[in-house]
Chain A
Amino acid sequence: MKNVAIIAQTKEGQLNEATTQLLSFVSKFNPEKITLVVLGENKLSSVGSSVPVDVISLSDGLWADTSAVSSLANAVKGYTIFGIKSIQIDNILSLLASCLKAEVVSGVQQLGYSAGVFSIVKSIFSGKASLEISSSTASIFSLNRNFDFSDVSELPAKAVNSTSVLTYSSESKSSITALKPITGSIPLPDAALVVSAGRGLKDPSNWTIVEDLANALGAATACSKPVSDLNWRPHHEHVGQTGVKVSPNLYIACGISGAIQHLAGVNGSRIIVVINNDPEAPFFKHADYGIVGDVNDILPRLTKKLQSH
């Protein structure tokens, strides 16, 4: 593996933690050079790496147009390309794969490389199962957010070799007419801690107890499908089979019975806490910690306990 490209995720112009870990991870494949493709704001002057790093900065990283990706494809032809799953990165990786006629594997949970053959473990059925794949031709990989980077070590910072800027084609056949970022809350897909609530809350006005607990923890809020269907909570908070799939360190489910479609969205969580007044709620079988009780009583008490520390 001579050349490696990483589609980087940045926060305020710097690499986010997952991308930094990915950069260390790929060094075990002994590339000669790594190219970081930075979407959006780029303030990178040095990054943790054992080999020289070039940066390609995309002038407008917000969305990738089919015509725009072809100029990026020319720059990373023949490279092995990695990214960490997000809406934008999967869109770019799939467009790149078609431009480069390269085999792409998405949803990678484990990845090994030996004698020119990749051994890939891909999670399937929303994490309920996994599939081992071997391929000598695959060259583009989208890694799951909960990919296990625990065996990678931090590398010393190295000055960036060179930075080039790619601008998107002006022949674009589409234009953005409005941007509506979700502000003021922790983005759910990235959250390490999540407090989620369901119909057991009875009424949208009761959500303050959920928000209070989330604030005390520094957690994102989420909800079940019935709740977003009832418009009690916004659609982007819906966790489950057809909503957002989360893999936080801690998932606290309040007043959610635990339908199999909801579990499909939370299987990847490290620790699951279930609070429900129905002792028969199926979610308890999938919980690390369970409390049978009224959410209106339990949640404020947990918030108070957290605030007293």
Chain B
Amino acid sequence: MKILVCISCVPDTTSKIAIDPSTSQISSQGLTYIVGPYDDYALSRAIELKESNGAEVIVLHVGGSESEALIRKCLALGADSAVRIDGNPISSTQIADAIVDYVKENPVDLILMGKESIDYNSGIVHGLVAGALGYVHFNPVMHLDLAGNDLQLEVEIDGGKMEVSCALPAVLGCQEPIAEWKIPSMRGIMTARTKEISVLPLNPTDSVKLVKASIAETARRNKMIDAAEAETLIDLLKTETNVL
């Protein structure tokens, strides 16, 4: 079985986001990048499946060469090979198209990725890929098991969850608790050095234009209430905010 895991490389969750005045876009200066937390869950489950059932795990990333260290980390965790589609994508459609083009040339059985990337929060790449390939699609998946040629899934839905049995090939958006995040072993780090990262070109798009980014400033009241008079909170919520 071939599993393709698509990863995003995103600023660390504790990053302070700033704007680069020369481009009016989010500045990458001083940011530490990580593999998207949800993608990391997807990769961890793929590696568990490889260990328990045997599978070939390929990591795919659409982005620039600065992501190679993170791709190498995925290889150290146990992925067999990687492909980087080189460029700076500006829309979910552009990323999805790149994944679809790759899969059409290099068929796989299962495509896993996080339910969303934590930078642009769109959460639609998995659906776009599934629709274009005509594969089964579920999102967000919380448990994933193989049963013969079928998948047994637990999927969150609005207002609850459901258990699903489905056929391959499939595209799944993943979230916790599908697997525990893993830490690469020393042996994994050594063997990752010789694993292949192939580089393919990204097709340009002009369907959207990024005008400018800005930082959201939510002004809070920062009003402290003495614990002895805690009950006044209820009155203030009614009179000052009308939320009650």
Contact = CB atoms under 8 A, between A and B. Distances in A.
A131 B176 CA distance: 28
Interface stretch (A156-164, A196-204, A292-300): A292-300
A287 B225 CA distance: 11
Interface in B134-170: 134-140, 142, 152, 155-167
A87 B152 CA distance: 19
Interface stretch (B46-54, B183-191, B196-204, B235-243): B235-243
Contacts of B91: 103, 105
Contact of A174 (B123, B166, B177, B213): B166
Interface residues on B, range: 35 or more
Nearest to A273: B233
Contacts of A264: 13, 118
Contacts of B130: 66, 95, 98
A97 to B, nearest CB: 6
A173 B171 CA distance: 13
B210 A175 contact: no
Interface of B: 11, 13-14, 17, 19, 26, 37-38, 91-93, 96, 118-132, 134-140, 142, 152, 155-167, 175-177, 207-216, 218, 220-227, 230-231, 233-234, 236-237, 241, 243-244
Nearest to B177: A235
Contacts of A94: 92, 124-128, 131
Main secondary structure of the interface of A (DSSP, over half): mixed
Interface of A: 62-63, 65-67, 69, 86-88, 90-91, 93-99, 103-107, 119, 122-135, 137-138, 142, 173-182, 187, 189, 192-193, 217, 235-236, 241-242, 249-250, 260-261, 264, 267, 270-273, 284-294, 297-298, 301-302, 305-306, 309
Contacts of B38: 242
A22 to B, nearest CB: 16
A93 B124 contact: yes
A142 B128 CA distance: 14
A182 B160 contact: yes
B120 A124 contact: yes
Question: Main SS of the interface on chain B?
Answer: mixed
29 contacts: A63-B157, A69-B131, A87-B139, A87-B157, A93-B124, A95-B131, A98-B131, A98-B132, A105-B208, A107-B122, A126-B118, A128-B17, A128-B216, A129-B215, A131-B213, A137-B207, A138-B208, A173-B166, A180-B161, A180-B162, A192-B243, A250-B244, A261-B13, A288-B220, A289-B221, A291-B233, A293-B227, A293-B230, A302-B231
A283 to B, nearest CB: 11
B163 A66 contact: no
Given A129-B213, A176-B163, 7 more contacts: A66-B130, A95-B128, A107-B121, A175-B164, A175-B166, A264-B13, A302-B230
Contact of B159 (A95, A103, A182): A182
A91 B152 CA distance: 19
A106 B122 contact: yes
